[in-house]
Amino acid sequence: MVDNNNKKMAMPSAAKIIEEKNLNISDIEGTGVDGRVTKGDVLLHLTKSNISKNSVIQNSNNENTKNNRKDNGMDILVPVLGESVVEATVSKWIKKQGDFVEVDDPIVELETDKVTLEVPASVSGIIDSVIVSEGDTVEVGALLGIIVEGEGKSEAPKVANIESSNKLEEEIAKPVQTRDTSKNINNEVISSKSHNESLEERVPMSRLRQAIARRLKEAQNTAAMLTTYNEVDMTALIEMRKNYQDSFEKKNGVRLGYMSFFVKASIDALRQFPAVNAEIDGNDIVYKNYYNIGVAVGTSQGLVVPVLKDADKMSFGETELSIADFGKKAKDGSLGISDMAGGTFTISNGGVYGSLMSSPILNPPQSGILGMHKIEKRAVVIDDKIEIRPMMYLALSYDHRIIDGREAVSFLVRIKEIIEDPSRLVVGA
C-alpha cells in the first residue's frame, strides 16, 4: 500500500488492517525499513486512538459518579498496556474503598494476555470509589476508580456499598451448591452424573492461560510445523562447568548453568541458517539480523517467555544474570510487557521437569524453537566401544514454509557440535 502524497509504504499485513479500518496511513508512524508501516505500528496507532475514545465512553458511563466526585478527586485509569494490547481483566483489588494510599502504592492488579501488572496511585489520598469489580474486562483508558487527595491516614469515609461488597465476597466464598437429587430420583444414570458434578470445580481461565491456548493453537493451524531430533553428549560441557563453576560465580555473582551455552550455540547456528531466525509477514519473509532469544519459564499461571535482547552481545555472565533475574520476576509475577516482547527465537527446557523428549510448539510469529531435555546416562557407542555417557535429546520444531528440512537438520547438528566441543565458541570453529 502506498500513499501517493508522501510515498509512505506499508507491509502487506499492515496494509490489510489499514484498509479494513479505513485508516489514513499518513497518520501512522512507520518504524520498518525505509519508514515502512508495520503491523505493529498500525496496532499501536489503534491502541493510542482507543485511549481517547475509551475516555469519552467512560466519562459518559460514569457521569453520575463524576458528578458526585469531590473537587480534588483523581481518576484511576487503565494505563497503556503495550503494543497490540488493548484490554485487560481486573484480577485483584489490592486496596479497597476507604483505604488510604501513598503515591506509587499499588492499587489494583490487571491481567492481560501477556503479563500481569499493577496500577499505582498517582497521588496520596483515600480511595473514594471503585467503579469496576474483580473479573471485569476493561479497555485502555477506562475508569477503574477515584482517589480523593489528602494527607495523613485519617479515618476512611463510609462507603455505601461496602456492606453489599462484603456480602458478595461471602457469596463467592461459599462452596458450590450441588444439584438436589433427593426428590425420589431413582434413575442411576442421573444420580451418578449428579454425584460426579458435585466433585467438579469450574474455574474461569485466566487471560494468560487463554492467550497461551490461543497462540499455541494458532501456531498449529497456521505454520507447517515439523520437528527434527538429535542427541548430544554432555560430557565436555559438564566437565567445563565443573572446572570453572567456582571462579565464574566469584567473578559474576551467579552460577554457571547450561542455558547460557545453548543460547550461545543457538546464536552461532542462527547466523549460519538465518531462515530459522526469520518470520513470515503476509507474502514476505522478514529476516532478523539481530538475536533476541526467548527463554521459556514455567509459572503457576502458565508458560511465559521473557526475551534476552541482543543476546549475541551478552557475555556468559550477563546471560546467566539475565536468566536468573527473569526466573525471579516470573515467580513473583513482576515480568513486564517489555520483558517478553521482540523475541526472534525461543529455547524451552523441559528437562528441568524431568522430560526425556518432547516436540515443542512454535512461539508465533517465530519460525523455530529449540527443546532441551533431561540429561540421562545411557549406553552409547564411542569409537566402537560401549560407554556410559550423560546424554540429552534435542528437538527443533520449525515452520516448514520457510525452513527446509536440510536447514533444520543442519541447524540442530551445529548446536550438537558446539555443545559437545564448547571450545568452538572461543575459536569460532
How far apart are alpha carbons 281 and 14 in whole angstroms?
9
Q: Under a CB-based contact definition with an 8 Å cutoff, are residues 3 and 26 in contact?
A: yes
Question: How many Cβ atoms are within 10 Å of 55's Cβ, its own excluded?
Answer: 16
Q: Are strands 303-304 and 345-349 parallel, antiparallel or unpaired?
A: unpaired
State the sign of the Cα–Cα–Cα–Cα dihedral 181, 185, 186, 190: negative
Instruction: Let me know if 45 is a catalytic residue.
Output: no
Interval 252-270: pLDDT, tens = 999 999 999 999 999 999 9
CA 226 vs CA 17, 257, 359, 365: distances in Å = 30, 29, 9, 15
Nearest by Cα to 260 from 323, 303, 326 = 323
Q: Mean pLDDT highest for which of 67-81, 210-224, 409-423? A: 409-423
Q: Which of 136, 246, 400, 421 is catalytic?
A: 400
- Please report the pLDDT score of residue 56 as a whole number: 43
- Domains of the chain: residue spans and CATH: 1-59 (4.10.320.10), 69-173 (2.40.50.100), 224-427 (3.30.559.10)
Question: How many Cβ atoms are within 10 Å of 133's Cβ, its own excluded?
Answer: 10
Average pLDDT, the chain: 80
Tell which phi-psi region holds residue 83, choosing left (phi > 0), alpha (psi between -120 and 50) or beta.
beta
Say what the pTM is. 0.58
The amino acid present at 237, given as its one-letter code, is: L
Nearest by Cα to 429 from 290, 272, 284, 314 = 272
Interval 185-212: pLDDT, tens = 556 666 666 667 778 888 887 776 777 7
Collect all residues with Cβ–Cβ distance below 8 Å to 236 and sequence separation of at least 6. 419, 420, 421, 422
Instruction: Let me know if 310 is a catalytic residue.
Output: no
- Can you say how many angstroms the Cα of residue 275 is from the centroid of all Cα atoms in its chain? 24
Which cell goes with 137? Answer: 474486562
